Structure 1
Amino acid sequence: MTILDDLKLQYKLGGITHRLIYWNVGCFLISLVFFYQFSAGNFNFPNWIALHTAAPDFLIFPWTFLTYAFFHDGFWHLLFNMVILNFASSLFLTFFTQKQLLGLYVLGAIFAGIIFVGAYFFLNLTASIVGASAAIMAVLVAITSYQPLLGVQLLVFGKVKLWQLTAVVLIIDLMQFRLDNTGGHLSHLAGAFFGWLFIQLLQNGTDLSKIVTAVLAFFANPFQRSSAAPFKKVHKNYTQTVKQKPISRIVTKDKTQQQIDEILDKISQSGYDSLSKEEKEFLFKTGK
């Protein structure tokens, strides 16, 4: 089993957090190949990927309100964001679902992008942004709004309350607001506000993540239509009695399925890394 096969299996078995990280890392590798200027030592993202505040760009390429949240302008930018994403998502998924996490990430990015473009367009300024920070801030503030007193263990500072950690992150953003990357910090704060709004609406019975779920379901099955079963007229024969065989209530599993279930139970209890090489190869072969 190769490293590539191992990564494919982790992607298949992992949740939405793993997939978001894979997508961000994959986009970063793509940008290294196509958008990195080695002579200048920086990235030059085209206007159909980065979110630009110039009216022709964001009107012609409306998908950039989302694509900007999967590209990063440096390795440390990517690494920091993925660490925070993994941390915030693990806490979020303790109380909410995978679909809600994906919906929050996507809608948080779009909302922050709209605020960024709207503010700069109103001020007649031109800039562009990339990075998942706004979407990640939405996840972090959402779980903080829901469980502010949740204790988290930090490597250096020990155990602190979740609201204290989030407050420090927000204060740092506010302090840097006028120094550099004003548009980036503006989008971070917009993402944070959306995370708070998401939880408030959810507690009142409105789940905004269903918007993303519905859109994905539509594009996954664009031509699927639910058709009602045609009416059938049934003639009952009262003179003839048919002796039916008793229906067995015993369900038997084949050996392969039983082995798959045992491996999946092991993953849920101890994680993917606890599998042996033979178990990983077995899963990969049966998953094809």
Structure 2
Amino acid sequence: MSSLDNIKIKLTNFSISEKYIIINCAVFAIIAIVNALYFLFADNHLRFFQDFFALPADIGVLITRPWTLFTYFFTHFSFRHLFSNIIALFFFGRIFLIFYNSKQFLKHYIFGGLFAGLIFIISYNLFPALIEKKAILVGASASIFSVLFGATATSPYYNFNLLGIFKIPLWVISSLYTLLFISSLPYANSGGELAHLGGAFFGYFYALELKKGKDIGSGFERMMDTIASWFKPKSNLKTVHRRQGRSKTKMAGKTKQEFDTYNKQKKIDLILDKISKSGYESLTAEEKEFLFRAGK
């Protein structure tokens, strides 16, 4: 087996949050290398990535660069900024995937970032303290807070183990972050804090809607599934359909697959209720294993 094959296998086994960590690191590495080379040869600082990857607060500029609503939350210019975000994404992503699958992570991350970007733009064109200021937005933190607050809305009493010593419920972590965002608004990073609040609000709201059985991102999921199907190799094998008796294909008016899916979701809901009431540590080893496999 070649080294490339080994890399592909390892990437396949990574969780969706770990893959997004790799994407953010790869984008940062490309930007850093290009910027360093440009500086060495031109004795100047390259503004290309700042101009075409960062989200501008100016609506007139945004109209000419609409893609920045998406690219900004994969873009970092500071290693410290990148490092703090990938650490948060690693831990909060793992917690989120206990309760949800990869597609839900993707939707929280993408839509949380988009919503936060809109809040950033609206704020700089609405609030008197910000209207006259020029600003850009970069970084994955708003998307990450969408993931964290989504997990919090789902199971507020789930305990986050800090260094294996302190057990902090998610609602406490989210509350402290909210206070941090609000208290920091009058200072240097007002736009960033507003974006954080936007991402956090969206993640919390989305998860509450999911608990009601409403998936506001289902249309996006269908679109992504359709696009992915274009790149899947078509099989030459023919499918043979056999008619089976009604008693074999239906159980309580449902197909076996529908029945199994219903039972699985019911078991997940019961486990999540148990976490909400008694905390994650109250689960049995079997329940923890089931929840982990269900989140894959």
1:48-63 alignment runs, 5 A limit: 48-63=52-67
Q: CA deviation at 1:56?
A: 2.8
Q: Which letter maps to 1:168?
A: L
Q: Which letter maps to 1:120?
A: Y
Cα 1:35–1:215, aligned 2, differ >3 Å: closer, same or farther?
farther
1:102/1:209 contact within 8 Å kept: no
SS in 1 for 2:116: helix
SS in 1 for 2:50: coil
Residue from 157, 167, 183 that aligns with 1:149: 157
Cα 1:30–1:127, aligned 2, differ >3 Å: closer, same or farther?
same
Residue from 129, 140, 147 that aligns with 2:148: 140
| 1:15 counterpart residue number | 15
Q: Which letter maps to 2:184?
A: Q
Q: Does 1:185 align with 2:193?
A: yes
Structure with the higher helix share, 1 or 2: 2
Q: CA deviation at 1:43?
A: 7.4
Q: Which letter maps to 1:197?
A: F
Q: Which letter maps to 1:21?
A: I
Q: Which runs of 5+ in 2 are unaligned?
A: 233-288, 290-296
Measure the CA separation in 2 of the matches of 1:73 and 1:2.
Answer: 34
Q: Which letter maps to 1:146?
A: T
1:47/1:57 contact within 8 Å kept: no
1:134/1:187 contact within 8 Å kept: yes
Measure the CA separation in 1 of the matches of 2:168 and 2:156.
Answer: 11
Cα 1:44–1:63, aligned 2, differ >3 Å: closer, same or farther?
closer
Q: Does 1:112 align with 2:120?
A: no
Measure the CA separation in 1 of the matches of 2:7 and 2:56.
Answer: 34
SS in 2 for 1:192: helix
> Which string of whole-angstrom CA distances, capped at 9 and with x for unpartnered residues, describes residues 111-141 of structure 1?
0001101111233432101100000001111
Cα 1:164–1:223, aligned 2, differ >3 Å: closer, same or farther?
closer
Measure the CA separation in 2 of the matches of 1:172 and 1:43.
Answer: 31
What TM-score do the two structures reach when normalised by structure 1? 0.70
Cα 1:42–1:146, aligned 2, differ >3 Å: closer, same or farther?
farther
1:213-252 alignment runs, 5 A limit: 213-221=221-229
Q: CA deviation at 1:7?
A: 4.0
2:32/2:77 contact within 8 Å kept: no
SS in 2 for 1:196: helix
| 1:127 counterpart residue number | 135
1:99/1:209 contact within 8 Å kept: no
Measure the CA separation in 2 of the matches of 1:41 and 1:3.
Answer: 37
Q: Percent of aligned pairs with the same residue? A: 32
| 2:271 counterpart residue number | none
SS in 2 for 1:152: strand
Q: Does 1:205 align with 2:209?
A: no
| 1:279 counterpart residue number | none
- Between 1:129-138 and 1:143-152, the stretch displaced more is 143-152
Measure the CA separation in 2 of the matches of 1:138 and 1:111.
Answer: 10
| Count of matched residue positions in the alignment of Structure 1 and Structure 2 | 226
Q: Which letter maps to 1:31?
A: I
1:233-272 alignment runs, 5 A limit: none
Cα 1:223–1:21, aligned 2, differ >3 Å: closer, same or farther?
closer
Q: Which runs of 5+ in 1 are unaligned?
A: 225-267, 269-288
2:159/2:170 contact within 8 Å kept: yes
Q: Which letter maps to 1:164?
A: V
Q: Which letter maps to 1:144?
A: T
Which is higher, the Rg of structure 1 or of structure 2?
Answer: 1
Q: CA deviation at 1:35?
A: 3.9
Measure the CA separation in 2 of the matches of 1:85 and 1:223.
Answer: 29
| 1:97 counterpart residue number | 101
Q: Which letter maps to 1:60?
A: T
Structure 1 consecutive aligned stretches of length 4 or more whose deviation exceeds 6 Å: 1-4, 39-44
Cα 1:55–1:24, aligned 2, differ >3 Å: closer, same or farther?
same
Measure the CA separation in 2 of the matches of 1:180 and 1:11.
Answer: 38
| 1:264 counterpart residue number | none
2:154/2:211 contact within 8 Å kept: no
Measure the CA separation in 2 of the matches of 1:42 and 1:164.
Answer: 42
Measure the CA separation in 2 of the matches of 1:181 and 1:3.
Answer: 44
Measure the CA separation in 2 of the matches of 1:76 and 1:196.
Answer: 27
